[in-house]
Amino acid sequence: MSKHIHEKESHAARLLVPDGFSPEDVKNLSSVLNALLADAFAIYLKTKNFHWHMSGQHFRDYHLLLDEHGAQIFAITDAVAERVRKVGGTTIHSVGHIARLQRIADNDEEFVGPTEMLRELLADNKAFVKSLRAAHVVTSKANEYATTSLIESWIDEAERRAWFLFEATR
């Protein structure tokens, strides 16, 4: 068998959709989920950045809060990527890929005050909730029940993070 034929067969095998989703559904689901995955990594890293660089009067409480938030955010990344694969898509391959897809802005400032950190993370978590809700529409439309159900839990978690951050900044 020639290399060219083997590559064609390999590519065709990758296009097979395990759960019977249409190629259009696979494309739409993969697109929305990969954007969520990029945002999850971006918000995770920013949360850890602020956790590592927290200072001030409420250091211990904020440091621990952001550690909890970071762990919760990181915990969804594998589930999101696996959902992409389970519906027949491909997922993120690199940090560069994340950078091209993320909608959560990085913060590379040398110093950010504690209140500003919390307010920025509040805005990011609210934006993440909005993106999760938009993804929910796509997964619901495709009758992708497993991902839709997971997204509902992730919305609740992100809303809770936003609530805690809101209350901490009042």
- Is residue 23 domain-resident? no
Domain contains 58: yes
Q: Return all residues near 29 (Cβ < 8 A) that are at least 6 apart.
A: 21, 83, 84, 87, 89, 138, 139, 142, 144, 147
> Is 12 within the bounds of a domain?
no
User: What's the structural domain count of the chain?
Assistant: 1
Domain span at 131 = 34-103+111-168
Residue 74 in any domain: the answer is yes
Measured distance between the N- and C-terminal CA atoms of the chain, rounded to whole angstroms: 68
* Per-residue pLDDT of the chain in tens (170 residues, 90 and over written 9): 555 555 555 454 555 556 689 999 999 999 999 999 999 999 999 999 999 999 999 999 999 999 999 999 999 999 999 999 999 999 999 999 999 999 999 999 999 999 999 999 999 999 999 999 999 999 999 999 999 999 999 999 999 999 999 999 99
151 belongs to a structural domain: yes
pLDDT single digits (tens) 32-81: 999 999 999 999 999 999 999 999 999 999 999 999 999 999 999 999 99
**Does 53 fall in a domain?**
yes
**Considering the chain, what percentage of its residues have pLDDT values greater than 90?**
88
Q: Kindly state whether residue 55 falls inside one of the protein's structural domains.
A: yes
The enclosing domain of 96 has a CATH number of 1.20.1260.10
- Residue 13 inside a domain? The answer is no
